[in-house]
């Protein structure tokens, strides 16, 4: 416990002077700041956000509309259990929000381009199924069948997500 007092440092061993007021450890230029999102990133984020919203809303809207002598009916994406679109649309919404407003919401899981590519694959697979269903329904006499607004909303949303992902990719590569 009883230690001899340490002698004061010699002039060669003195501590450096504290930084001047208004300066920090970042050097004479001030603190090091992380660059914020650029206008291109924000535009890409808006495309991704809008695309995600269009995909999610499109799942709830009619995908096929059928009219015949017995009345008319429609089927939405939820009727066909299109949960993949809902999940990927939700990821696109979250990623778009994190790109446009990183100060309020952070979400780094996945890139919009990969999510958009998966959406494209799902749309292509469902397009074939919808065309087969339309052909089968139109075979009945007096029945008319057409694609509903929901699938078009999903297609437009998918295009927006892919476009936003490409904008971000091109921005990073340049």
pLDDT digit string, tens, across residues 43-59: 889 999 999 999 999 99
CATH number, residue 146: 1.20.140.150
The answer to the question of residue 168 being in a domain is yes
- As a whole number of angstroms, the distance between CA 67 and CA 143 comes to 6
Strand pairing report for 71-76 and 62-68:
antiparallel
- As a whole number of angstroms, the distance between CA 112 and CA 90 comes to 11
Instruction: State the pLDDT at residue 56.
Output: 96
Global pTM exceeds 0.95: no
Query: How many domains, in total, are found in the chain?
Result: 1
- As a whole number of angstroms, the distance between CA 61 and CA 132 comes to 20
Beta bridge partners of 145: 66
Tokens 């994190």 label which residue?
A: 98
């Amino acid at each position: 416990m009883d230690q001899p007092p340490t002698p004061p440092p010699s002039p060669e061993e003195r501590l450096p002077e504290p930084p001047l007021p208004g300066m920090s450890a970042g050097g004479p230029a001030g603190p090091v700041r992380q660059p914020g999102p650029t206008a291109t990133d924000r535009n890409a984020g808006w495309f991704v956000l809008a695309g995600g919203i269009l995909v999610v809303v499109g799942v709830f809207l009619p995908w096929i509309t059928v009219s015949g002598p017995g009345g008319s009916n429609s089927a939405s994406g939820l009727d066909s259990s299109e949960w993949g679109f809902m999940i990927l649309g939700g990821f696109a919404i979250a990623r778009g929000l994190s790109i446009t407003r990183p100060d309020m919401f952070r979400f780094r899981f996945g890139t919009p381009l990969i999510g958009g590519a998966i959406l494209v694959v799902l749309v292509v697979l469902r397009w074939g199924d919808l065309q087969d269903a339309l052909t089968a329904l139109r075979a009945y006499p007096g029945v008319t069948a057409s694609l509903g607004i929901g699938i078009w909303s999903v297609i437009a949303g998918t295009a927006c997500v892919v476009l936003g992902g490409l904008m971000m990719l091109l921005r990073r590569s340049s």
